[in-house]
Chain A
């Protein structure tokens, strides 16, 4: 059973331990500006929402890439960017309708969540259980994916 990240804004306190853990894992040092997971603040609502790639089955980013720099990790289902292949054209960043694949000017490549090979550092670092890594079936991300599938293709109707 493939698992996915479950993100629960109601439990998030905005501490950014996930952003630090993510950058530490992926960049080798603490640099939240290059975290693959981001915590968004909703001041009026008094909420924080962690958000990252849903590893959607449509994988707009993957299909848009002209050089096959994004492939699927068979064990986790994650869509993974290969730095050595990516030319930095940024087409994937506009193709992804969730805004979760970003261009990093320091490397000239794009960065996105790769589920850390099956042990997501963010989930491990989260002190409140706002980020967990669970069986794909029960995740809120399914809802998100469905939203993606439905709202992005039902747009045809018009």
Chain B
């Protein structure tokens, strides 16, 4: 049996390791197109902060890990997949056959069509190569403009602030992290950033970049402009599916997969940022693009490739974010569901917030600011679809008792 995995990010690597355990005899080939050992993008901010070196971003610490587990690491870019012949083509023209294929090619950052954006001082922050380029330009006191205050933007923001740059964030939406945090939490985050010396401009967009001078001149649609030594783009990502054109594998935003992470073609699976699978909360298929889901899907896809049928409960949207030391998180249907109800505690002055969303007596979503103790309990309660019984009323009185609710519901007291 020959398993081929395209993409050596978290989804691909977790899948390879799982496959090796589940199918000790199989041949496993893990393909990646970046000239690095498999690494975790999530660790890039810590590299930029100087907390770790590049080796600290590697997904497996032991250099021999893949050889030891007889996983063949190959560098190469897949340019097309022939599903009929069960064969793929690499950028050098080589082809490679497979019995089972996992597509775990992740996503890549958007580059919005803004005039002047091709200047080398305009960078995305996605790969190790990007990180090296940013490290060159983002010196202490350098003026840096960050386009986009979404989830990734905010993570990068913290790393840049730690480098001591003078930072301005420009966000088109009316608040920060609009896709992960509700209005309360988003505005608290904005206030926090302002109080900590980061200028936040919401509701404006970048209209052009003039690279003719010593510094970039970044013009905004409100008529103002910002000088910058560096402009960082964090304007969303999109799945790496272009190479599948003509393969017949069904795609929408990402690769459409069923609950076994199977694509529309037999023997071909997809996992991670590239996959568009079932969302736990809505039941609809969507691209999650977060690390825990990538790891879970990688594991689950591998089980199915090794012919141990395993269903995936659906990706639960969940995020945890530290912004200049303020920790925020959100889970599941954090913006509520039809016919549901909610409870919250809000303390803007102290930057503490906890909002719980219920559907009848089940927890379906949550948002927290300044909450770091036992946060995982929120996932547990949501994902187990635990009936809360008397705990619902108790959580309504004091939403912070999530851990008591989890323990109370699962342990014989």
**Direct A/B contact, Cβ within 8 angstroms:** yes
Q: A87-B52, A91-B42, A103-B327 are in contact. Are A152 and B407 (CB under 8 A)?
A: no
How many angstroms from the CA of A151 to the CA of B280 in the assembled complex? 13
- Interchain CB contact under 8 A, A102 and B373: yes
How many angstroms from the CA of A89 to the CA of B52 in the assembled complex? 12
How many angstroms from the CA of A64 to the CA of B52 in the assembled complex? 19
Interface assignment of B404: CB less than 8 Å from any CB of chain A? yes
Contact of A151 among B372, B386, B411 (CB under 8 A): B386
- Interchain CB contact under 8 A, A67 and B408: no
Contacts of B351 in A (CB 8 A): none
Q: A66-B42, A156-B259, A156-B312 are in contact. Are A97 and B384 (CB under 8 A)?
A: yes
How far does the Cβ of A128 sit from chain B's closest Cβ, in whole Å? 16
Residues 338 to 380 of chain B near chain A (Cβ within 8 Å): 372-380
Contact of B58 among A9, A67, A144, A153 (CB under 8 A): A67
How many angstroms from the CA of A93 to the CA of B291 in the assembled complex? 12
Q: A51-B407, A67-B57 are in contact. Are A98 and B384 (CB under 8 A)?
A: no
How far does the Cβ of B57 sit from chain A's closest Cβ, in whole Å? 7
Contacts of A153 in B (CB 8 A): 311, 313
How many angstroms from the CA of A88 to the CA of B46 in the assembled complex? 9
Interface assignment of A117: CB less than 8 Å from any CB of chain B? no
Interface assignment of A101: CB less than 8 Å from any CB of chain B? yes
How many angstroms from the CA of A67 to the CA of B410 in the assembled complex? 31
- Interchain CB contact under 8 A, A68 and B60: yes
Residues 1 to 50 of chain B near chain A (Cβ within 8 Å): 10, 14, 40-43, 45-46
Contacts of A41 in B (CB 8 A): 404
Contacts of B280 in A (CB 8 A): 155
Contacts of A156 in B (CB 8 A): 259, 311-314
How far does the Cβ of B152 sit from chain A's closest Cβ, in whole Å? 13
- Interchain CB contact under 8 A, A9 and B383: no
Interface assignment of B318: CB less than 8 Å from any CB of chain A? yes
Interface assignment of B319: CB less than 8 Å from any CB of chain A? yes
Contact of A99 among B259, B295, B402 (CB under 8 A): B402
Interface size on B, residues (CB 8 A): 58
- Interchain CB contact under 8 A, B385 and A67: no
Q: A47-B413, A67-B58, A90-B327 are in contact. Are A98 and B380 (CB under 8 A)?
A: yes
User: Looking across the interface, which residue of chain A has its beta carbon closest to that of B291?
Assistant: A91
- Interchain CB contact under 8 A, A155 and B320: no
Interface assignment of B322: CB less than 8 Å from any CB of chain A? yes
How many angstroms from the CA of A7 to the CA of B411 in the assembled complex? 10
- Interchain CB contact under 8 A, A96 and B379: yes
- Interchain CB contact under 8 A, B380 and A63: no
Interface assignment of B104: CB less than 8 Å from any CB of chain A? no
How many angstroms from the CA of A147 to the CA of B412 in the assembled complex? 12
Interface size on A, residues (CB 8 A): 46
User: Looking across the interface, which residue of chain B has its beta carbon closest to that of A154?
Assistant: B313
Q: A49-B411, A66-B59 are in contact. Are A90 and B322 (CB under 8 A)?
A: yes
Interface assignment of A29: CB less than 8 Å from any CB of chain B? no
Interface assignment of A95: CB less than 8 Å from any CB of chain B? yes
Interface assignment of A85: CB less than 8 Å from any CB of chain B? yes
Contacts of A67 in B (CB 8 A): 40, 43, 52, 56-59, 61
Contacts of A96 in B (CB 8 A): 376, 379-380
Interface assignment of A107: CB less than 8 Å from any CB of chain B? no
Main SS at interface, chain A: mixed
Residues 86 to 125 of chain A near chain B (Cβ within 8 Å): 87-91, 93-103, 105
Interface assignment of B197: CB less than 8 Å from any CB of chain A? no
- Interchain CB contact under 8 A, B380 and A155: no
- Interchain CB contact under 8 A, A66 and B291: yes
Contacts of B90 in A (CB 8 A): none
User: Looking across the interface, which residue of chain A has its beta carbon closest to that of B322?
Assistant: A90
Residues 15 to 56 of chain A near chain B (Cβ within 8 Å): 38, 40-42, 45, 47, 49, 51
Interface assignment of B98: CB less than 8 Å from any CB of chain A? no
Interface assignment of A75: CB less than 8 Å from any CB of chain B? no
Contact of B377 among A88, A98, A152, A155 (CB under 8 A): A98
Q: A51-B411, A66-B10 are in contact. Are A40 and B403 (CB under 8 A)?
A: yes
- Interchain CB contact under 8 A, A87 and B375: no
How far does the Cβ of B386 sit from chain A's closest Cβ, in whole Å? 7
Contact of B320 among A42, A66, A90, A152 (CB under 8 A): A90
How many angstroms from the CA of A129 to the CA of B61 in the assembled complex? 40
Interface assignment of B67: CB less than 8 Å from any CB of chain A? no
Contacts of A101 in B (CB 8 A): 376
- Interchain CB contact under 8 A, A105 and B372: yes
Contacts of A38 in B (CB 8 A): 374, 403
Contacts of A151 in B (CB 8 A): 383-386
How many angstroms from the CA of A38 to the CA of B378 in the assembled complex? 17
- Interchain CB contact under 8 A, B383 and A152: yes
- Interchain CB contact under 8 A, B314 and A91: no
Contacts of B377 in A (CB 8 A): 97-99
- Interchain CB contact under 8 A, A64 and B291: yes
How many angstroms from the CA of A60 to the CA of B40 in the assembled complex? 17
- Interchain CB contact under 8 A, B383 and A94: no
User: Which 9 A/B pairs are nearest by Cβ-Cβ distance?
Assistant: A66-B40, A99-B377, A97-B380, A99-B374, A151-B384, A96-B376, A87-B46, A99-B376, A66-B42
Q: Can you report 10 A-B residue pairs in the complex whose CB atoms are below 8 A from each other?
A: A60-B296, A89-B42, A94-B375, A97-B383, A99-B377, A103-B372, A147-B410, A152-B380, A152-B384, A155-B313
